[in-house]
Structure 1
Amino acid sequence: MTAKPFATCDLCDAHEEDTSGAFRVLAPMFRDFGLAARFSGPVATVRAIEDNSRVREAVNSPGFVDTPSGRVGRVLVVEGGGSLRRALVGGNLAAAAAKNGWAGIVVDGAVRDLAELQAAGIPVKALALMPLRSVKRGEGQRDIAIEIQGVPVRPGDWLYADEDGIVVSATPLL
């Protein structure tokens, strides 16, 4: 199923009066490291501080949901605590995410393997590049409520990302 066209600026304009907390905007600090594209979908979450064990599990699982309208790719949102000491996603994980139908990845932390991220064919937004890979201790949590730069993100929320920014909503906006 092809994503419906959207612009995060238009979504913000349409929801500027929302004071319920259902519509949220992430801080403007995320850069494109994979395929630079608009992407959207229901959110799956991982909390992973310098250990990408749970991220690897997530991207190696089906990255889509089947809906009455067709198959929709999910967006993996990784709470990395803003750490830039270790990369949580690299080329191999981005390729696995693309292969398994994920719509995109947002990392509140660092990524690595820029050329491989771009070749993987999946949008990846993160804070920075860091060549050091993560440690592997089997730590982290999946499918829990997380916080990205002070903004709550929950499994099942909808995320919309483009060149202007990233917004999150409790319900689909399109």
Structure 2
Amino acid sequence: MDLERKYTEAEKEAINMSREMAGLGPLEQEEKAVETVNDTELESVEAQMVAETAEDIKQRRNKNERRRIKQQGGLRPKQIFKHTLIDWDGKAKDVVCTYPTTRQASKYSKMDFDPVTGKGVLDFGDIVDCFYNDDLLPRFDFEDFPSSEIIGLGVFLSEVVRNPFLK
């Protein structure tokens, strides 16, 4: 009698998407890990996660969040989403954001002009500052992250405000 559960392709895809959002590897990867333990090779999902750098974690989480936003049809006012940044200790941390109302979003699209070059300049630091002042970044502390990470957050917030569907 075979007690092993056989999943359909749709079930496997749904399980793998859920596992990916939780930061785990695909189902097949875990099955492989179980098999290798029986062969006295210790290759587990945890061992692979330890080898993963903070930058890899950040990229994977941000990619998954983008996919989630696209699948749900975009963002709506007062909806919560997240973006992962790397703090000063080199650890990946999620920053929880709230999507602004239409009235609030208008001030995040302001562009200044450089008098020397005549080109448009968008200050991403100001965008993060406006989100913070409007209480759209709860529990966010500027001093926890390097300026390059804050600028990256500003780029993402600017993109989301201008295109909430991420198309």
TM-score (norm 1): 0.25
Q: Which has the higher strand share?
A: 1
Q: Which has the higher helix share?
A: 2
Bigger Cα Rg: 2
Instruction: Using CA pairs under 8 Å that are at least 6 residues apart, name the structure with larger relative contact order, 1 or 2.
Output: 1
